[in-house]
Amino acid sequence: MTDLPAVKAALKSQQIETPSWGYGNSGTRFKVFAQPGVPRDPFEKLDDAAQVHAATGVTPTVSLHIPWDRVDDYTALAAYAKERGIGLGAINANVFQDDDFKLGSVTHPDPAVRRKALAHLMECVDIMDATGSRDLKLWFSDGTNYPGQDDVTARQDRLAEALAAVYERLGEDQRMLLEYKLFEPAFYTTDVPDWGTAYLHCLKLGARAQVVVDTGHHAPGTNIEFIVAQLLREGKLGGFDFNSRFYADDDLMVGAADPFQLFRILHEVAQNDGFAPETGVAFLLDQCHNIEAKIPAVIRSVMNVQEATAKALLVDLDALRAAQRSGDVLEANAVLMDAYNTDVRPLLREVREEMGLHPDPLAAYRASGWQERIVAERVGGTQAGWGA
Ligand code: PSV
Ligand code: MN
């Protein structure tokens, strides 16, 4: 039997971090379609994130991306967030958009470029000190396009050296989250292409280096939930970058392309105690809203994670274990599918009402008048966007 009060308590305490870049304009390499009312600076991104938290009650922090969210005074930015009832979350480094990084950043063959990349990573830790952020999220676009272009082993050595220097610089309560991605922008070798490579580096570094699973970063058909179970078992799952994909790293709304996969992933989280705050698994969104309205898209994404979480928490683990022990394959599968096929929307409405929220976050946002206000007020200036 599932313990409904415990499920409700877990849903109430779940925290999902939204990405500052999800509020800005974004697109593909073909076109960025601008939308009216989009923030023009990091402060306005926080204003939007506060609206998402007001509507959902479970998104108290925002990830920043540096230099996209560079400001003169990060303490002031943190105070601004606090005044709006939210906080600053993970700091994402960006060593992929400077001309010098054409052949790599921390793995570049030229030591001067490597020094420049490392200096940026250190700057990100300085920012964490000012914002009080716990997590430094590292993703490297480093890799090669052609066989023979560089020595892949030497590149691993250079990567290890940079990671060790950053790890050394971290404070006691700070963590390094290392993200892997199969390919793109590098098309032949990528220096951190998979969870195994990320795991090996984190293992050498120590307990505060952990792996991030971005759900869009695998080969088609990869069993992501197996990776999640394995990392949890080893105490090395630092968190998720949630999004969904049909083909490659599509960065669509989480749960939109394959809600069943999201459920399977969160089932592994649930049965391995990954929702317990002390496990330290960070639930982050890493998405871009290219054609859909941005704030409602973030809200919808949060709701999708909540729905998959509720279903995962509803799995009757006693019944599942009993079926597994007796070798009843069909029954074990049925127990899982019963939870997946449960309509959890009434439960979530109840949970929200008990939290003092509107049962429908999207309706709450629509009723707030915020969208009309930002469209009217945010006129002039340069809109924020991916890469700017
Ligand atoms: C790379 O594709 C990535 O997933 C990393 O997390 C980056 O920081 C982010 O996307 C940029 O949107
Ligand atoms: Mn990511």
Cis peptide before 67 (omega within 30 of 0): yes
Say yes or no to pLDDT of 310 above 80: yes
Say yes or no to pLDDT of 190 above 60: yes
Enter the tokens of residue 369: 């008048």
Enter the tokens of residue 8: 């409700």
Cβ neighbourhood burial of 111 (10 Å; 0-12, 13-18, 19+): exposed
Question: From the CB of 241, is ligand 1 less than 6 Å away?
Answer: yes
Question: From the CB of 242, is ligand 1 less than 6 Å away?
Answer: no
Residue 384 within any structural domain of the chain: no
Q: Is 148 left (phi over 0), alpha (psi -120 to 50) or beta?
A: left
Q: How far is CA 151 from CA 180, 197, 272, in A?
A: 19, 16, 39
Cβ neighbourhood burial of 30 (10 Å; 0-12, 13-18, 19+): exposed
Going from the Cα of 28 to the center of ligand 1, the distance in angstroms, rounded, reads: 14
pLDDT of the residue at 2: 84
Distance of alpha carbon 213 from alpha carbon 195, whole angstroms: 8
Residue 387 within any structural domain of the chain: no
Distance of alpha carbon 283 from alpha carbon 275, whole angstroms: 9
pLDDT tens string 343-385? 999 999 999 999 999 999 999 999 999 999 999 999 999 999 8
Residue 234 within any structural domain of the chain: yes
Question: From the CB of 142, is ligand 1 less than 6 Å away?
Answer: no
pLDDT tens string 248-277? 999 999 999 999 999 999 999 999 999 999
Mutate to test the pocket of ligand 1, among 105, 241, 284, 285 (most ligand atoms within 8 A of CB): 241
Q: How far apart are the first and last CA of the chain?
A: 51
Residue 388 within any structural domain of the chain: no
Question: From the CB of 214, is ligand 1 less than 6 Å away?
Answer: yes
Q: CATH number of the domain at 344, please.
A: 3.20.20.150
Domain range for 344 is 4-377
Would you report the helix, strand and coil content of the chain in percent, each value rounded to 5?
50, 15, 40
Q: Which atom of ligand 1 is nearest to the CA of 212?
A: 6
Distance of alpha carbon 41 from alpha carbon 381, whole angstroms: 9
Residue 153 within any structural domain of the chain: yes
Say yes or no to pLDDT of 133 above 80: yes
Question: From the CB of 68, is ligand 1 less than 6 Å away?
Answer: no
pLDDT tens string 218-251? 999 999 999 999 999 999 999 999 999 999 999 9
Enter the tokens of residue 266: 């969160």
Question: From the CB of 69, is ligand 1 less than 6 Å away?
Answer: no
Going from the Cα of 192 to the center of ligand 2, the distance in angstroms, rounded, reads: 13
Q: pLDDT category, 1, cuts 50, 70, 90?
A: confident
Q: pLDDT category, 387, cuts 50, 70, 90?
A: low
Residue 285 within any structural domain of the chain: yes
Residue 385 within any structural domain of the chain: no
Residue 348 within any structural domain of the chain: yes
| Structural domain count, the chain | 1
The residue assigned the tokens 């599932």 is 2
Give the closest residue to 60 by CA, choosing from 368, 366, 312, 277: 277
Q: How far is CA 258 from CA 11, 220, 240, 269, in A?
A: 21, 12, 16, 17
Enter the tokens of residue 5: 């009060």
pTM for this predicted structure:
0.98
CB-CB contact of 312 with 44 (8 Å): no
Mean pLDDT, rounded, of the chain:
97
Question: From the CB of 139, is ligand 1 less than 6 Å away?
Answer: yes
Going from the Cα of 3 to the center of ligand 1, the distance in angstroms, rounded, reads: 37
pLDDT tens string 20-75? 999 999 999 999 999 999 999 999 999 999 999 999 999 999 999 999 999 999 99
Helices (H), the chain: 4-13, 42-56, 74-83, 111-131, 152-169, 195-205, 224-233, 259-271, 294-314, 317-325, 329-340, 345-354, 361-368, 370-377
